[in-house]
Amino acid sequence: VEDWDIQYEQGREWESLKRAAEELKETDTPVAFPTETVYGLGADATRSSAVRAIFAAKGRPADNPLIVHVHSIPQLRTLLLGENKTSDGVIDPIPEIYKPLIRMFWPGPLTIILPNPNGSVLAPEVTAGLDTFGARMPRSILSLALMRLADVPLAGPSANASTRPSPTAAEHVKDDLNGRIHTIIDGGPCEVGVESTVVDGLSNPPAVLRPGGVTVEQLRQCPGWENVVVGYKDKHEHDIKPRAPGMKYRHYSPKASVILYEAGAKIPGLSDILNPKKGYKSVGIIRTKTWPAALGLLIDSEHQTNGDSDPKGTGSESVARGLNSSLSNLLRSVIQHQIPHASQHYFQPPVGNRIPVWDIALGTSTEDVARGLFSALRELDKKGVEIILVEGIDDRVGDDIAAAVMNRLRKAAELRV
Ligand code: TXA
Ligand code: MG
């Protein structure tokens, strides 16, 4: 991080990855790495000192367990067998219930809850005292390559400071963890933009503990998962005890107050924006499927800027600069997403000064909304807005990742819905 330009050296991707892998194996400082969902903060999951350093860097509560990332099925089996490798490959330790999911969704945005064996090789801090651990195989090529090179299971929460929105670009990690870690592997903007779906197939019926990049509808297609239930709640959070410990914490919060408009709610007007007491000094708007530009209220967009072009590290150009090996060509074909940026407008209230408005259109597809969401919350924070109005999307059907998007937004809004 201190030497931010180092990873853009021409054709040195493998060397950079190898250096990061060495750092993972030989030091206790975590390394930030891209996945298809969000950036992770990785450490050797078998060493307590390395895992404790993740909690310290993030400021994360110790009772919130970490996901273990694996690069292969054999590596997952070693975790399930622990030190008592008695079965000699005769009995497959992977629970049958998960096999259709693994076949269908790995590598990809799905985390499965597994029994942590007696004699587990995982550091106890990873599981936060539970007798289970969560595992996932990400599909980002950089993350798989890093894990192969390090050849250790990688404990990896999202690489944000605790309570902040998850990072979907290397720059976001730098903003939160600068000075606390040495290395961020920049893979450009994340493809999915919301975290993995966490499922528990050890319970009956199986349950979704966190909605994410794999939909409930997709899970239901798999044998044994037809009756999967929703084991989280995001509208009346006080009613049920979350089964994924992380779901109980304040989360995804920008500094500004977030007001979420559920799909179908009335479009906000000037009276919703004018604070009766003093008036907001600046307002952020995140639009999705139907709201008009700046809510149709703008009186002046002459100072409009289309964002700050692409700040270093958040877009594909910054990555493309260093590309020339065959790994680079592969990356070039994978990295194609651009993050939408804010443009500035003004509202003129009936009395008083005009109010600057930062407006971000995430796009009308649910995938685009998911991809740009965390970045939009972070960008509006940087603009210093006091309030963010967000247009929600319909999550009732379950055939896309709207449930994950709305779950994160309801948390960000802390029930101001
Ligand atoms: O997409 C993702 O899953 C990202 C990338 C980096 O892989 N990681 C991520 O990790 O979101 P984190 O630590 O921010 O969220 C992990 C979630 C938390 O809600 C945690 O409580 C839950 O998974 N979890 C982990 N282990 C668990 C277990 N044994 N039982 C129940 N929930 C668990
Ligand atoms: Mg997280």
- Where do the domains of the chain lie? 6-248, 257-307+342-412
Distance separating alpha carbons of residues 362 and 298, to the nearest angstrom:
18
List CB contacts of 56: < 8 A, sequence separation 6 or more: 180
Q: Which residues of 360-395 are buried (b: 16+ CB within 10 A; e: fewer)?
A: bbbeeebbbbbbbbbbbbbbbbebebbbbbbbbbeb
Provide, rounded to the nearest whole percent, the portion of the chain with pLDDT above 70. 82
46 lines ligand 1 (CB under 6 A): no
Q: Which of 313, 359, 353, 356 is nearest to 335 (CA)?
A: 313
Report CA(273)–ligand 2 centroid distance (Å).
31
The DSSP string of 332-356 is HHH--------EEEEE--SSS--EE
Least confident of 123-127, 232-236, 380-384: 232-236
Number of H helices, E strands in the chain: 13, 15
**Domain 257-307+342-412 maps to which CATH number in 3.40.50.11030, 3.30.70.580, 2.60.120.10, 3.40.50.740?**
3.40.50.11030
Best of 41, 67, 143 for a ligand 1 pocket test (most atoms within 8 Å of beta carbon): 67
For 37-62, how does the pLDDT look when each residue is reduced to its tens digit (9 = 90+)?
Answer: 999 999 999 999 999 999 999 999 88
- List the structure tokens of 292: 């008009």
Q: Of all protein residues, whose CA lies closest to atom 6 belonging to ligand 1? A: 40
Backbone φ, ψ for residue 261 (5° rounding): -100, 110
Dihedral sign of CA atoms 134, 137, 140, 144 in order: positive
247 lines ligand 1 (CB under 6 A): yes
DSSP classification of residue 283: E
203 lines ligand 1 (CB under 6 A): no
Q: Of all protein residues, whose CA lies closest to atom 30 belonging to ligand 1? A: 244
Distance separating alpha carbons of residues 341 and 119, to the nearest angstrom:
49
In the numeric block, the tokens 């950079």 are attached to: 16
Report CA(157)–ligand 2 centroid distance (Å).
6
64 lines ligand 1 (CB under 6 A): yes
Q: Which helix (H) or strand (E) holds 15?
A: helix 13-26
For 158-201, how does the pLDDT look when each residue is reduced to its tens digit (9 = 90+)?
Answer: 999 999 999 999 999 999 999 999 999 988 899 999 999 999 99
Report CA(276)–ligand 2 centroid distance (Å).
35
196 lines ligand 1 (CB under 6 A): yes
**CATH domain 6-248 topology:** DHBP synthase (3.90.870)
Atom of ligand 1 nearest to the CA of 196: 1
Atom of ligand 1 nearest to the CA of 133: 29
pTM of the model: 0.89
List CB contacts of 394: < 8 A, sequence separation 6 or more: 263, 264, 402
What mean pLDDT is predicted for residues 106-130?
A: 96
Report CA(251)–ligand 2 centroid distance (Å).
8
Distance separating alpha carbons of residues 85 and 257, to the nearest angstrom:
52
What mean pLDDT is predicted for residues 296-317?
A: 48
CA–CA–CA angle 372, 417, 270 (5° rounding): 85
- List the structure tokens of 216: 């409930």
